Amino acid sequence: MSLEKRYTPQTIESKWYQHWLEKKYFHSKPDEREAYTIVIPPPNVTGVLHMGHMLNNTIQDVLIRRARLQGYNTCWVPGTDHASIATEAKVVKKLRAKGIKKSDLTREEFMQHAWEWKEEYGGIILDQLKKLGASCDWDRTRFTMEDKLSKAVLKVFVDLYKKGKIYRGLRMTNWDPEALTVLSNEEVIHSDEHSKLYHVRYKIANSDEWVTIATTRPETILGDSAVAVHPKDERYAHLKGKKAIIPMVNREVPIIFDRYVTMEFGTGALKVTPAHDMNDYEIGLRHNLEVIDTLNANGTMSEAAQFYIGEDRFSVRKKIVKDLEALGHIVNVEDYQNKVGRSERTNAIIEPRLTEQWFVSMKEFAATGLKAVETGEVNFHPKHFYNMYHNWLNEDNIKDWCISRQLWWGQRIPAWYYEGEVFVAETAQDALNQAQEKFKDKNLTLEDLKQDEDVLDTWFSSWLWPISVFDGFEKQDELKYYYPTNVLVTGWDIMFFWVARMVMAGYEWSEDLLGKEHIQKYGKQPFKHVYYTGMVRDEQRRKMSKSLGNSPDALELLDNYGADGVRFGMLSSAAAGNDILFDAPYDKTQKKTLSESEKCNQGLNFANKIWQALRLIKGWQIEDKKQPKVNTLAAKWMDNRFNQALERLDNSFKDFRLSEALMDLYNFTWGDFCSWYLEMIKPPYGEAIDRKTYEQAIGFFEKITIILHPFMPFVTEEIWHNLNIRKEGEDCIISQYPKVTVFDEEFLKTVENAKELITKIREARAKIKGLKKHTLMQLYVEKSNNAQLFFDTPNIKELIMKMGVLDVLEMTTTEPESSVAFIAGTEKYYLIVKQEIDKGAETVKLKKEKQRLEGFLIGIAKKLSNERFVNNAPEKVVALERKKQADTEAKIKLIEEQLKSLSL
């Protein structure tokens, strides 16, 4: 059989992915098997593959591929999110490039352009996930704005409205002047920014007195309705009943007394602008203040401002400071650090704005969401994320959810208006029926009703995802089979946006849809486990982003290292919940990676290592002859070691420690299988291997490809098909995952001791000048009961002699002449050396080792001299420390003897 000298992912990956698709291995239909279900966190339809996507979807694919191998009916549902704000911004930008303004179009015309954009660009990220090896059921691909899912959204809105959990009200909201829409609190990112604090004085009416306020937003002075001070602030007690004059507009406003004011901040006097500050609005309600909205929706000054009409708020800030200074109102200006809220999507600075919006009442929902995690019906991995979850959802912090957005792309709110009345219904006809019932004396038609112009928050559709992807609000046959899903894999940054709300939705509707019997058996929760990934950051711990230029080109990484290499690179450094440091910034000017990702390169090297193992085995000649004793021991060891590794692997999966699982598997495959087992059984040069050993090696290799397949699917499928002749449909992806059988830990320890001894022999041989690789040597071991027990293990002696290249291995009671002594385990060995060794280099090495051991011994001595440790620690622990002390002292003594011998 002719195999390529190196593993080349570029020629192999597309072949196998297409094969899997043609065989429908990713597709799921309900049957008699137990389901294992994952729903993909739907990426924005505007998105392209980035490092976060690759990490998140690699983890999902590992879980789904392992479950498939374990015999589950796996269903991984892909899809995309319509992303109202981001998508509308993309469409508006595209139209602007053609000279078309959104305002020039009707809603229907704009939506036509939006759907055309979606059809052209919307599936890019899903196609890119295929290059990663994602084994999603592509036949089930969903989109949050497709007809069926949109109908589910409207149904839920109507249901909540009828239950009194959705209401419409005039509230102070977060306004994005760039996207021209309101945002929920969770869509506003607050961070410290460098600002200026302006101290401005206001004249007291009918007086020569002044009061000074401090503000970071002098442009809002034109909308001031009051000056507030604390009731206990004696500095201003004499101003009770007085009025202040707002500069420039010369408006007289009351001086009010309110406990919200902090006496220690600035001068203790606060300008109150109810139209442009959340807290000022609350003060205004308490004191019945006038609301003067001086800003237009796009962040320019309104006519109510009287000055700078139509000019941008930030340019006005500079102008008004100059004008106030000219009028003698600026006292001083200082540098200031304050928190500024920006839109998560557009990065525009948010304006608090009084608008009429739709809200979901959240207190009851939040309590439900908290209870689900507290009771263990939904389990977080890592568990500590519950603290963040609780902080967001506790009754002191939870706020009602603003679900209306001033956009056109999205599910239009199903509310119609007529003469001040609102009619909420799933369809216009249903709304008309309600209106006709209300106004029986009028012959109303659809043209008489006006539908709400706003659309629903994107999250209002995606919170239904685990139910709606199975059309659960329409029919329940598939939902009953796949719900609840098994695990959700997502970033912790959308814990409240999405995870918590999906939990709430699951508990709100699952029982009505599935019935009590199903719920009693399986639960209401939408998923049993939530695996939180960390953020992918560069080596400076900055979040990877296009703007910083520190994010590698995901597709280029896949081209350079192959999907298996990239998957390895991402997962090997991705402990659950921890940020991932990734070292491959992409230089767009040079069109190359500046520093190759060590982890991805390690993954590619690993794929090549097991490829070389395949070439080695397949290169052996096979002969029907008796199995050598060494190979009998090697097979027993590999069988036991495999089951030990498999047990650890299973435990890691159980606890969602996937990074640890991968690295254990890497060390086992590279170290134990490739470096030790294959070396143990490798026939002498020019000789054939016995058939039994060959078949055992193939069997072990097959098992390894199966358990490694979830992590590195392409190389394992290719190796699987090269290990044996396969029948049609006999593919690695659908083979049977092995189960742990009994393994002998004492035997494994014995072989580990043998491996340590072989390593020490090799190290000693390496120091001998001119010694040829295959020169046989003599080794003696100081006679002891332990040594006798060790060498009584069947075939252990033969293994050591073969791998240590020895022709003599005997016990001795005296130190042989011309020997080099060393310790392996607890035994003392003597290697007969007839050639010259480098005494100087050996002396330096021994002294360094002696220094290390002496430091280690000091640490043990301190521990054992601590009475609290000796008296309180378990006896086994104390005994182990005493054994370490004795062993270390023995090693130091031997080194001293060796140093003495070298000095002669």
Task: Give me the residue spans of the domains in the chain.
Answer: 9-81+127-156+461-587, 188-349, 598-746, 838-904
Tell me which residue of 765, 804, 767 sits closest to 679, measured CA to CA.
Answer: 804
**Which CATH class for the 188-349 domain?**
alpha beta
Q: Cβ contacts of residue 59 below 8 Å, gap of 6+?
A: 489, 531, 533, 571, 574, 658
CB 36 within 8 A of CB 28: no
Determine the Cα–Cα distance for residues 119 and 58; give it in Å rounded to an integer.
26
Determine the Cα–Cα distance for residues 832 and 398; give it in Å rounded to an integer.
77
Block residue for tokens 């690759």: 54
User: Given this model, what pLDDT does residue 544 score?
Assistant: 67
User: Given this model, what pLDDT does residue 549 score?
Assistant: 63
pTM summary value: 0.84
* CATH hierarchy code of domain 838-904: 1.10.287
Determine the Cα–Cα distance for residues 197 and 276; give it in Å rounded to an integer.
17
**Which CATH class for the 9-81+127-156+461-587 domain?**
alpha beta
The residue ranges of the chain whose pLDDT is under 70 are: 1, 539, 543-551, 576-577, 582-597, 835-838, 903-904
Question: Quick check: helix, strand or coil at residue 257?
Answer: strand
User: Given this model, what pLDDT does residue 28 score?
Assistant: 97
User: Given this model, what pLDDT does residue 122 score?
Assistant: 82
Block residue for tokens 């060590």: 598
Tell me which residue of 832, 814, 679, 841 sits closest to 765, measured CA to CA.
Answer: 832
User: Given this model, what pLDDT does residue 876 score?
Assistant: 82
598-746 is classed CATH 1.10.3720.10: no
* Structure tokens given for 378: 């939904």
CB 87 within 8 A of CB 125: no
User: Given this model, what pLDDT does residue 591 score?
Assistant: 43
User: Given this model, what pLDDT does residue 585 score?
Assistant: 44
